[in-house]
Chain A
Amino acid sequence: MKRPAVGPVGSALRESGVSRRDFLGFCATLAAAYALPSSSIQAIAAALEKAPRASVIWLSFQECTGCTESLTRSNAPSVETLILEQVSLDYHHTLQAASGEAAERARDEAMQGAMGKYLLIVDGSVPLGNPGYSTIAGVSNVDMLKEAAKGAAAVIAVGSCAAYGGLPAALPNPTGAVPVSRIVTDKPVVNVPGCPPIPVVITGVLAHFLTFGTLPELDEHGRPKVFYGETIHDRCYRRPFYDQGKFAETFDDEGARRGWCLFKLGCKGPVTYNACATTKWNNGVSFPIQSGHGCLGCSEPGFWDVGPFYKALSMPVGNVKKTVGIAVAGGVAAGAAMAIANRGKKAAAKAAHAKVGVEDLEKKP
């Protein structure tokens, strides 16, 4: 990882070969994402130019490296990637050249050198069931997280595993996986969920920190509102088909070929808050729905355990038929029991009925 050691972000980016045009383009994207007027683009650029290089430490726990892949495997190095990787990143055990003790020393040095100021990025969940389930250099994830979080200015939980526990925490959660926010409770934790999250969202949070010196406004799940404020469904280019009642019934029918709505195929877009439909992936090329597959809802807490992926969102989940089957038998039996009880009542009423004749009525008391 070749990286300028010191200096403001602007000069570091120039050293990395980023043109002024690309840089302003990135600033414009940020301004749009944060709903700022176009006049603020220059202000953001100026702030970023002068912003001191932030120190970023990236810890990976129970994860699949998909979050790092998402950020680094774009077809061309983007400004986002450069800002994170080459300008700010001090420790990332997948990306850095150093290994073993040298790598861990780099982490210690970065922590000591920017105590109280560095950003801590975490991907992956933390196993509490047994510390030995996941260790780095012999240190358990939970201990490493606590140690690194002590001197951090803020913590960013990248990916659904770090944000909510993700796949490792899916039922029955064999490792006792928990999200970062369960361990770090005395520092601001920004959740950037997604499986994986969108690169510009990761760097957008970082850029916000560099530009404004604060973290963006968060929703009730700790996600930046600017990126997670609207549902995929509401920003989906297939939404007009939903409104017209036009749906793909299978993945290869006429409706699917015409690009109709994927709701019936299990798309979770209506209840998933993320920016996929607007920022898209691979430099704005596409996103899952555009590729013909419904949204899985990967940026929502516990998305593995909230119903089948390929059942429409409104469809019943679970074994309804079995429960109702028992109810049918119970209902008929209860009805029969009531019928027997009513018959008994009728018989008793009939037996208790005293016939009154004219003679009885004419009798004087």
Chain B
Amino acid sequence: MTCLEILTWARGPGLALALAVAVFGVLLRLVEIQALGRKPDLATPRETSPGSGWHTILSRTLPPPGMVKRAPLTYFGGYVFHIGLAVAVFGFAPHIEVIRGLFGLRWPGLPNLVVDLATIAAIVAMIAVLVGRLVDPVKRLLSGVGDWLAWTLTFVPLATGYAAFHHMTEDYTLLLAIHVLSVDLLLALLPFTKLFHVVSLVMARWYNGQMAGRKGVAA
């Protein structure tokens, strides 16, 4: 099997399989979570915090007062990584073509230099938060296999994409194939790892905010 054939498999049957597993897993978990239900709350809802659920979706994106000083690496690392990743995924023209191929949506891509810098920032931030997690005894104690797996699944596509773009090995096609395969793996495992927060984030925040508001706690 040549590198080009591996690449073609990765963006053909491999991608279809990965997407199918991802969609299957996401729907399975969403339906299951929704169907769990809650006991009826017989208390009269407080009316002091209307729209608390929607507000919480945004407010939880910002650090609580004083937390940036206490955990600068966690916050800055997290922001830089997430923003950098978003720029790389949604700003790079070939990535937009993937989305166009799947959903028909398209938008103008960013210049490669911008995407490149964002990718470097995301990679550096990921390494920094990993080191932080390894060095800090509390974080290390709290970390399990799921955390290391989520980090690896995210880091490999970023690193291989960057290496492929810069032709860091002689065989560009092979590196590109590895990059796409790593994305396939990321998609397939997303619903079954902590990466599911990509989907559950909004729902979970809304629920927490709404429940807190119902009890009269400002979001």
Contact = CB atoms under 8 A, between A and B. Distances in A.
Contacts of B100: 315
Contact of A328 (B4, B5, B27, B35): B27
B109 A245 contact: yes
B78 interface: no
Given A245-B111, A320-B102, A342-B35, A271 B11 contact: no
A335 B32 contact: yes
A320 B101 CA distance: 10
A335 B5 contact: no
B11 A327 contact: no
A315 B16 contact: no
Nearest to B33: A335
Contacts of B176: 270-271
Interface of B: 2, 4-5, 7-8, 11-13, 15-17, 19-32, 35-36, 93-95, 97-98, 100-102, 108-113, 167, 171-173, 176
Contacts of A331: 23-28, 31
Contacts of A271: 4, 7, 172-173, 176
A324 B4 contact: no
Nearest to A244: B111
Contacts of B167: 234
A306 B13 CA distance: 12
A29 B96 CA distance: 41
Contacts of B21: 327
8 contacts: A300-B2, A301-B4, A302-B5, A314-B97, A316-B102, A324-B20, A327-B24, A331-B31
A319 B5 CA distance: 17
Interface residues of A, number: 46
Given A243-B113, A301-B2, A338 B94 contact: no
A231 interface: yes
Interface of A: 220-221, 231, 234, 242-245, 247, 263-264, 270-271, 297, 300-303, 305-307, 311-320, 323-324, 326-328, 330-332, 334-336, 338-339, 342-343
B172 A231 contact: yes
Contacts of B16: 316, 318-320, 323-324
A339 B32 contact: yes
Contacts of A312: 94, 97, 101
A306 B127 CA distance: 36
B19 A327 contact: yes
A313 B94 contact: yes
Contacts of B13: 318
A318 B27 contact: no
Nearest to B111: A245
Contacts of B32: 335, 338-339, 342
Contacts of B27: 327-328, 331-332, 334-335
Contacts of B36: 339, 342
Counting chain A CB atoms within 10 Å of each CB, the highest count among B22, B28, B32, B98 belongs to B28
